[in-house]
Structure 1
Amino acid sequence: MPATPEHSDAITEAAAQWCMRLHAEDCSAQERAQFEQWLGEDPLHAQEYAAMAEIWTLSDQLPRPAPAPRVHLPQRRPALRSWAVAAAISAVALPLAAYTGWSAGWLPDAYQHETSQGALRHVVLGDGTRVELNLDSELSYTNFKDHRQVRLSRGEAFFEVTHDAQHPFVVKAAEGRIKVTGTRFNVWKYQDQVRVTLVEGSVLVSSINADPDGGFRLGPGMQARYKAGDYEPQLSQTYAGDNSLAWRDGKLILDNLPLADALPLINRYLEKPLVLGDDHSAHIRIGGMYDTTRIRNLVASLPKVLPIYLTQNNEGNTVLNSIPAQP
């Protein structure tokens, strides 16, 4: 049953209260346990809290003003409650702060949070950009005065960016930045690894710590790969049979890859990642086409098609162990 507006408002209010409480220095372990319980009661709780936490992070980027002088209220009005004073001040200060923040480029005037779980999703961002989200993906969109920004928290997304040369579109993933004005490209993220595939137009790929106007330019058919800690991405040219975008048809295609390269692509769809049990298993190759909604079936079938056997480690991960060759 869809949530009523009243129910949604209650969740939003609760998420805001939890966000403020968890960031307080005196937040207790008991309160954190109560928060975890609230978070697990309804998927909407986690979704709303994630959006609230993103807003909190944005507000943290604002410069802090100098402390305001203390104001002594007249004693002849004891009935005036402190919350009423705060509300009155906020009614004037918040719109002014929001306008000032927008004009200075500190605050966005639009925010959008999107996730996908068991199915691919098509979403349209506030600027008209079209995005396809792969399974278990999450992003947030904010519109600033001088640029548009997407934070890809996890998963994979294909972007068809609305062209605006004066208002660049920036995707942040792990410790890298992809900057465009209007183009079609794909961003894949797993843990701290990122792969950018350009289909049309051009993009600049750079470290998040580098010059925002610099970077390495990709042309159509090129890829850039990087991981956390890399100052420069690895650039390559895709070939005619490249399968990077097969996920848009619900497929994962492994083209005779060593397990060391295939596992990040497989693990993207698993709750518990597969791990390699030894150095030899990293070099065993795997190929084939798989349904992205049934990757668990692939894991179960691995010992039937590869010289490996499965075990579990203490953390509950499935371990791929190589079978020694017979003499």
Structure 2
Amino acid sequence: MKRLNSAEAIESATVPEQAAHWWVVLHEDTCTREDREAFAAWVRRSPERVEAYLRLNMSMGTLQSKQRAWSDIPAEELIRRARASSAEIIPLARSQPAALAPRPSAFAGTRMFTFASVAAICCVLVVAWFLWLPERYQTDIGEQRSVLLGDGSLITLNTASEIEVKYTEGRRFIRLVRGEALFEVAHDPQRPFDVDTGKAVVRAVGTRFNIDRRADRTTVSVVQGKVQVMSEQPNTSSRVPRHDSAVPETQPMEVLVEAQRLVVTEAGMSEPERIADIAPVTAWTQRQLVFENRSLGEVAEEFNRYNRQHILIESPRLRAESVTGVFQANDSASFLVFIANIPGVRVTTNAEGHHVVSLMDAGEGPKVLR
């Protein structure tokens, strides 16, 4: 067996040759985290690759001991057993060559059989672990990104957001770890599309909806079609199962239709609310922030999601004042000019580069911003 020297050579090689390449790479002293991640990406692409690697690893164990019989267990069954096992997943390490004795004793043969069996089990666990790792996508502050999934569904990530994607034959599972995302789901009634927000699961078959996850609340808004929003059962210590588990019976459950939204908090779910104008819900995809009678404090916090230099409003009275307007998310400077033109308001910059907004005269309240 040998290590292939280039990506082109790997791509043009047969699946068994590719499996041999990865066996060599993973058993070298110089194997890196990047090598293991590349192996994970390779093995996830087809069951044929999983089987090829499993059988190669078992062959290597067999070569070290004539007492070990070849296993006829299908790769699918090995993977199923590995996933059902409670054993700890052990990373692959470089194997040390076993010393060969002229006449191995029965004990030595048993030891070799045990070593090969453990090696095969560890291999199955590692491959199954790699196979079932979710795909991760994320954005930095001020960054947006669109992700096209294999079934044609499209997910657009807003600033400072992260998702995990795991598809199985019977379920499409997304975990919104943080931030905001717009989901455009390809129609497939045989495979529900579930989004876990930590406090609730949003299920759709073919629809378009937006989820905004914050520290204290999650807002679900339906742009087109309808979704089910399923909250966790009250007084339960278990979270919604991740990735490959079925969604448990949950309560309460709400059905949201087009131009409706609800908010999920620790206290539970709100009643569905009609959205008079759906355009502001997705305006962020055009890097626009649309506010109608929103508090100045909320507007500042929204700008802070998109910019590293934050706007800090010290006065509670100023934070409570209402704002209506349309702003560019990455243009906080124009918003600061807007604030600075309010009589009695002062804008300064602190040592960390953040913009501090305060009232020069505590006895004079600002005008209502329109």
From the superposition, tell whether residues 89 and 257 of structure 1 become closer, same or farther in structure 2 (CA, over 3 Å): closer
2:263 counterpart letter in structure 1? R
Instruction: Tell me what 2:326 maps to.
Output: 289
Give the drift of 1:163.
1.6
2:287 is aligned with 1:250: yes
Instruction: Tell me what 1:116 maps to.
Output: 139
Give the drift of 1:310.
4.5
From the superposition, tell whether residues 319 and 235 of structure 1 become closer, same or farther in structure 2 (CA, over 3 Å): farther
Tell me how many residue pairs correspond in the alignment. 262
1:222 counterpart letter in structure 2? Q
CA contact (8 A) 1:202 1:217 kept: yes
Instruction: Tell me what 1:89 maps to.
Output: 121
Q: 1: distance between equivalents of 2:344 and 2:293?
A: 15
Q: 2: distance between equivalents of 1:264 and 1:308?
A: 18
- Percent of paired sites with the same residue: 24
Instruction: Tell me what 1:12 maps to.
Output: 34
Give the drift of 1:205.
1.8
2:207 is aligned with 1:170: no
2:324 is aligned with 1:302: no
Is the strand fraction higher in 1 or 2?
1
From the superposition, tell whether residues 283 and 171 of structure 1 become closer, same or farther in structure 2 (CA, over 3 Å): same
Q: 2: distance between equivalents of 1:74 and 1:295?
A: 77
Match of 1:202 among 219, 222, 226: 226
Residues 34-45 of structure 1: pairs in structure 2 closer than 5 A: none
Q: 2: distance between equivalents of 1:89 and 1:199?
A: 48
Q: 1: distance between equivalents of 2:116 and 2:344?
A: 71
Give the drift of 1:293.
2.5
1:111 counterpart letter in structure 2? P
- What secondary structure sits across from 2:330 in the alignment? helix
Instruction: Tell me what 2:268 maps to.
Output: 231
Give the drift of 1:246.
0.8
Give the drift of 1:78.
11
> Over aligned residues, Cα RMSD in angstroms?
4.1
Instruction: Tell me what 2:208 maps to.
Output: 184
Give the drift of 1:66.
8.1
1:128 counterpart letter in structure 2? G
2:171 is aligned with 1:147: yes
Q: 2: distance between equivalents of 1:91 and 1:287?
A: 59
Structure 1 runs not aligned, ≥5 long:
17-61, 68-72, 102-106
When Rg is computed on C-alpha atoms for both structures, the one with the higher figure is: 2
> Structure 2 length normalisation: TM-score?
0.57
Instruction: Tell me what 1:21 maps to.
Output: none
> Structure 1 length normalisation: TM-score?
0.64
Instruction: Tell me what 2:316 maps to.
Output: 279
CA contact (8 A) 1:251 1:290 kept: yes
Q: 2: distance between equivalents of 1:178 and 1:213?
A: 13
CA contact (8 A) 1:112 1:125 kept: no
